Structures are given as C-alpha cells and as structure tokens.
Amino acid sequence: MTDRDRIVITGIGLASPNGNNLAEFRNNLINGKSGIRKFNVRYMGDIIAGVCDFDPQKYQKKKDIRRGTRAGSTSIYCCQEAVADAKLDLNSVDKSRIGIFIGITEHGNVDTEKQIYEISQFNYDTKFVSHHYNPRIVANNPAGEVTLNMGITGPHYTLGAACAGGNLGLIQGYQMLLLDQVDVALGGGVSETIHAFGAFASFRSEGALASHEDPEKACRPFDKDRNGVVVSEGGCIFVLERLEAALARSAKIYGEVVGYAINSDALDFILPNSEGQARCMSLALKKAGLSPENISLISTHATGTPQGDPQECKAIRQVFGDCRHTYINNTKCMIGHAMGAAAALELAGNLPSFEDHVVHPTINVDNLDPDCAFENLVINRSKRVDKIDYILKNAFGMLGINSTVIIKRFDG
C-alpha cells in the first residue's frame, strides 16, 4: 500500500459523561472514575444516566443552539474540537472535499417528545408546533448542523446503525477517503438519547434498565450481579486523513485504520448472537491481514445486560481462544451506554494505550461472572503492559447489526 492508500487518525474531539477532551477522558478512565449520576427524566423522575456537561456556546451562538438540536450541538462541539486537536487549518483545505459522517442510534425522538409535550399544554392545538421542528428531526440533522456551523460543503450524512453507529461513522469516512470522494473525513458518532423518556421506558419494560443505590456502580459489565443498561449521551469525532497528507503537515498520528467489518445476525430484534459477532471479528482480522494473536487489546461492546455480555464473551473465545496475549476491557462501566457515540468514545479512550502502554480497567466487577471470565480481562484497576500494537473495537446493535474496527499503532 502507498501512503495515499493508508488512512490515519489525526484528531479526536469528544464529549463524554466523565470528560470533554481526550486528556481528561483518558485520565478518568485510567483512574476508574465514573461519570454516571442521577438525571431527571420527564414522566419518570430521577433515573441513572450518563450526562455530558460540555459548553455548546464555545462554538455556537445562543440563537443557533435554540434553533438546533442537542445532537447537533454535540456534533459541532466534537467536530470543532477534533479539527483543533488535529491542528488542521480549514482555510487551507478545500471545504468541498471535507466529509461529515456521523453514526447515530436514532434521531428525532427528543424533539418529537418535546413537541407533543408542548402542545399538550394547549389542548393539543398543532398551531403551537415549532416551525423549526422539521429540520430538527430529519435524520441528517447532526451532520448537517456541522456543515452550517463550519462552512463545510462536502458530503454529509448520518448513519443509522443502532449502537454500532460510532464504528460506522469512522468506517464510512475511511471508505470515502479510499474512494477519493474526500480529502478529510470527520467520522464518529453522537447520541442525545437521555433527553427523551422513551428509551428509558422501553429498556425498563424489557427488564433491561440498570438500577443500583449508587449510580456510579449501576453499570456492571461482566459482573454476576449486572442488571441492565445505563443510558448515556455523548459524542466522539475523529479526523481521518490519508497518511501522505498527515506526514506532509507533520500531524500527530493516533493510529492507522487497518481493518473493519460489518455484518448482520438476521435472527432477532433485540437478542445478540455470538456466531454473527465472531464472524464479524474474523472478517475484520482477515481484511487487516492479521491473526488473532496480533491483537493486543479488545475494547468490548458489553452493556451490562444478563444476556448480552456472555454472548460477546462466547464470540471472543471462539475467535481468540483463551486470549493469553490479548487484553480485554470495557468502557461503558464508567460512562454508561452512549448509544450512537459509544463505539467512537470507547475507541478514543483506548487509543492512548499505544503510547502509554496502560490498559484502563473495567470497574464495578465485584463478583465476576464465570461466563465472562478471561485470563487477561483487566478489572478494577489499570494494568501496565509491555506494548500495544493493535486495538480491536467491537460494537453491536439492535436488529442484529455487528461491527468491528481494528486500529494499528503508527510506527512509520
């Protein structure tokens, strides 16, 4: 492969429940600091959730924040932060050759619920529906708001991929660079899910909404006493460039995208399937030209549900055996499930391992489920290792969508 065919990550912008930039986020992950707390949800009262506290006015005027959406503001914040982190001068780049590719779980629920609530105060008179409602709920809204804010005229769209959305945004950016449709891709995922009651209510109806007297201990992937999902918001965007362009401007390189795969279980609306997940990991390894032994770290998808976690663990065993040379961790235990943003945030939180050789822990594992036990599962405290060469990121979602991304440590 030539340097034009190699795609690298040169910038990261994020908003998470326990950090609004990579340094803060990474430090909190290494130290096992949770960002999960109680959050008041309409019709439901105080619910355990992952809530972000980034400042949208850093890049938006109050008028634009009122007109737009929470997902749009999160996308703008993360894209602006990613470009700044990459030290990319947008005035020196053809903005028609920049693409915005943002994965989402769903979009429009927040504003639909708000509008129904608003008109309920006026006997459901529809004349009180906001004239901003339509542009708020269209599926391309988060990416579209970025183009308006940053003056980007290249392609933009969102990818509805359930909880695999963050991986899909990165993959789409990678593909568009290889197809020579763009010269810079801003790819990742966002979620505003906590601002709608529907997701919480549905998870509760399914018996899959996490509960605990201590919010910071509610998300417990791999623990025998896990009891469900902690719903979170957030966002993470990567700047993706061809290696030749990154080298030409002496950009910092976080890692190189070397493999990916997307497939479908085609079995159930909700329940995950280890066979489909194993096939997805194997396809990504094949595309990268790697064997399972090459992977240094698996960043798991595990959400803390009784049925979901063992399925992923079964898939990992099927592909990696006893994982003697592969470390495993989970990030949701500290930030909850950020839905469309989850995969991108969890990948970003692990990328610094290439440099500092530290694997952040999976916290809240007080009673390890034997079905989720691995020799190199890093639990409750960080682990320093000799080196990290390849990180594999899993992300799976409803309707049986599976995705895997593999990032390589850049060494020239």
Structural domain spans, the chain = 7-248, 259-408
Is the Cβ–Cβ distance between 379 and 365 less than 8 Å? yes
Residue count of the chain: 412
Residue 291 CB coordination number (10 Å): 10
Distance CA 344, CA 398 (A): 17
| Per-residue pLDDT at 151 | 98
What pLDDT sits at residue 228? 98
pLDDT at 240 over 80: yes
Reading the block at residue 411, the tokens are 């060494």
Query: Percent of the chain at pLDDT above 90?
Result: 98
**Does the pLDDT of residue 52 top 80, yes or no?**
yes
Is pLDDT at 377 greater than 80 in this prediction? yes
Which has the closest alpha carbon to 332: 163, 129, 207?
Answer: 163
**Mean pLDDT value across residues 356-379:** 97
**pTM, full prediction:** 0.98
pLDDT of res. 336: 98
Angle (nearest 5°) at CA 181 between 176 and 185: 55
Domain 7-248, CATH: 3.40.47.10
- Candidates 277, 263, 229, 254; CA nearest to 347 is 254
Question: What is the architecture, at CATH level 2, of domain 259-408?
Answer: 3-Layer(aba) Sandwich (3.40)
Distance CA 43, CA 39 (A): 12
The 10s digit of each residue's pLDDT in 133-172 is: 999 999 999 999 999 999 999 999 999 999 999 999 999 9
Q: Is the distance from CB of 148 to CB of 80 less than 8 angstroms?
A: no
pLDDT in tens, 252-301: 999 999 999 999 999 999 999 999 999 999 999 999 999 999 999 999 99
pLDDT at 252: 98
CA distances to 67, 131, 163, 186, 206 from 270, in Å: 34, 35, 12, 30, 10
Mean pLDDT across 172-200? 98
pLDDT at 322 over 80: no
Q: Considering the chain, what is the average pLDDT of its residues?
A: 97
Q: What is the pLDDT of residue 93?
A: 93
Q: Which of 107-111, 199-203, 319-323 has the lowest mean pLDDT?
A: 319-323
In sequence order, what E strands does 116-173 have? 156-160
**Confidence check: pLDDT of 209 > 80:** yes
* 3 state SS of 352: coil
The answer, yes or no, to whether residue 335 has pLDDT greater than 80, is yes
pLDDT digits (tens, 9 = 90+) for 344-356: 999 999 999 999 9
Fold matches, 7-248 and 259-408 = yes
What's the chain's Rg over C-alpha atoms? 20
pLDDT given for residue 323 in this prediction? 79
- Residue 324 has a pLDDT of 85
Work out the average pLDDT over 304-329: 95
Mean predicted confidence (pLDDT) in 365-370:
98
The answer to whether 301 and 167 are in contact (CB under 8 A) is no
Confidence of residue 374 (pLDDT cuts 50, 70, 90): very high
Given this model, what pLDDT does residue 412 score? 80
